[in-house]
Structure 1
C-alpha cells in the first residue's frame, strides 16, 4: 500500500524558487491516509499509511526525521501484503536529503535499502540488502535529487502561481538503488470530495510513474494537494496492473496552518 501512496512525493521545484526556511509544515505533523483497492465492482478499504515529521540531530546539525509507514489490514493480506517503514533525514536549512532507509515487505518481495547523500562530494552511496546478498552503488548527485520520502516535504514548498496547465516539472530521484529522471505534470485546480465527505480546493498533479510490480508506468495517476499554505496531499487515484487504487486523507495533527482550502 505504501507503493500506492509513496508517489504522493513525485513533486519537484526546479521551475520555482524555494525558500531556505520551510513554511508549509512543522515538527510534530502527523498525516494518515486510508487506502482503497478496486476489485471488479467492489472498493475495499485495504490498509493505511502514515507520515510524521520530527526533530533530530544528524552529524551534529539540526535536521528533520521524516517517517512513513504503510500496512495492509490483516484481512486483506491475501491480496497483497505490505509492511513498510521508510525514514528520511533532511537538512532543516535546505530540506535536502542527508540519509534514507527503507525496510520493505511487499507481497513476496522484501529488502532493506539505505542511501547516504554526500553533498560535499556530490555523491549518493547506496546499499541494498536482499535474500542474504548486499549490493552497493554510488551515483553522481545531480541538483534537485531526492529520495521518495524527503521530496514530499521539500516539494510542498512549490509555488504553483503562474504555472500553466500541462507544464512539466523535472527532477531526479533515487529509487531501489537506481537514479531516475522523472517529472510531474501540472493539471490545474479542482474541488475534490474525500471518502469522509469533506471537500477541498486542490492543485491536481500527474506524476510519471516507474513501471514495476504494481504500476504499469506512464501518467495513470492523479494527486490532489490542498490549494492553501499547507500544500497537503489529501487524495490520490491511480490505475495499477490489476484494478485501481485510491488513497484518502482521514486524519492529521499539528499542521502549521489551518486547512483554509476546505469547502463547506
Structure 2
C-alpha cells in the first residue's frame, strides 16, 4: 500500500508561499486501490483521505489523514492496516507534525516527525516492535512529508501552465530527502464514479531508482481532487479510482 500512496505523492510541485483555496476542514475522499495480479486488475483495498480541524493552545491546525485497508477477503493473503497523517497550517499546508503507522503482512513500523522549519531540521522517532531510534535530519526549504505533499499539489496553478511543463519538488520519506518531478500534460475529460470530470492530467517521476512512475488526473476545478491514477512499480502495475467525495471546500 505504500507504493500506492507513493504513486499519488509523486505528482506534485512545490510553489512556495501558495495559499490554500482548495482543501477544507471536513473533506473525505474514498478510493478503490487495484493491483494487476496475473494479468487481471483486482480491487484489493480501500484508501480514505480525510481532513479535520485540531485545536492547540496557540492555533487551529488542519489534520490530513490517510488510511489504507485491504478488503476482508484479502486479509488472509496480505493484511494491510496503514495510517498516515500530517498536521499542517490550514492556510499554507506547511507541516508541523507527521505520523506514519503501518502494519503490512505482519510488518510493523511507526515513524514520527517534528519539524523545525527555522533550523531546517526534522526530529524523527522510529519504532519497530521493541526497537526505538531517534534521529535529527536536515531538510531544505519547502520540504514536506508524503501526506502534506499529496494535499499541497492541489494548490498548484495548472491553468497558467502549458502542456509539457515540468517541475521538481523535495519530499522527506523514511528520514531521507529526495526529488520528485511532474510533467503537466494538459486537460482531459474522463468518466468516474462521481461523474464525468474535466481533469488536469499529470505524468510523474522521481530521482529515486525503482520509484513509482505513473499518471494522475485531478479535477480541473477549484477543489482539484485526485479522481484517477495509474502507476507502475518494479513488481507490477495498479490504479486508484475514486468512489466518493464529500465535504469539499468549494461547491462546484
TM over 0.5: yes
Residues 1:161 and 1:150: Cα distance change in structure 2 (over 3 Å): same
> How far did residue 120 of structure 1 move?
2.6
Residues 1:13 and 1:4: Cα distance change in structure 2 (over 3 Å): closer
Number of the residue aligned with 1:217: 211
> How far did residue 234 of structure 1 move?
0.4
Number of the residue aligned with 1:121: 119
Number of the residue aligned with 1:188: 186
Number of the residue aligned with 1:5: 5
Counterpart of 1:161 in 2: which secondary structure?
A: helix
> How far did residue 197 of structure 1 move?
7.8
> How far did residue 73 of structure 1 move?
1.1
Aligned Cα RMSD in Å? 2.2
Contact 1:18 1:157 (8 Å CA) reproduced: no
> How far did residue 49 of structure 1 move?
0.6
Greater mean alpha carbon deviation, residues 65-74 or residues 151-160: 151-160
- Using structure 2 for the length normalisation, give the TM-score: 0.90
> How far did residue 105 of structure 1 move?
1.4
Aligned pair count reads: 252
> How far did residue 13 of structure 1 move?
4.0
> How far did residue 227 of structure 1 move?
0.8
Question: How far apart in 1 are the matches of 2:12 and 2:57?
Answer: 26
Number of the residue aligned with 1:233: 226
Greater mean alpha carbon deviation, residues 221-230 or residues 151-160: 151-160
- What is the CA deviation profile of residues 35-77 of structure 1, one whole-angstrom value per residue up to 9, with x for unaligned ones? 1122234222111010111111246222101111001112123
Structure 1: state its 5+ residue gaps. Answer: 260-264
Greater mean alpha carbon deviation, residues 113-122 or residues 77-86: 77-86
Number of the residue aligned with 2:195: 198
Counterpart of 2:211 in 1: which secondary structure?
A: coil
- What is the CA deviation profile of residues 216-248 of structure 1, one whole-angstrom value per residue up to 9, with x for unaligned ones? 325x31111111111100001112333321110
> How far did residue 32 of structure 1 move?
0.4
- Using structure 1 for the length normalisation, give the TM-score: 0.86
Greater mean alpha carbon deviation, residues 135-144 or residues 224-233: 135-144
For 1:75-154, what aligned pairs fall within 5 Å after superposition?
A: 75-154=73-152
Residues 1:28 and 1:112: Cα distance change in structure 2 (over 3 Å): same
Contact 1:2 1:71 (8 Å CA) reproduced: no
Question: How far apart in 2 are the matches of 1:197 and 1:172?
Answer: 32
Structure 2: state its 5+ residue gaps. Answer: none
Question: How far apart in 1 are the matches of 2:202 and 2:76?
Answer: 31
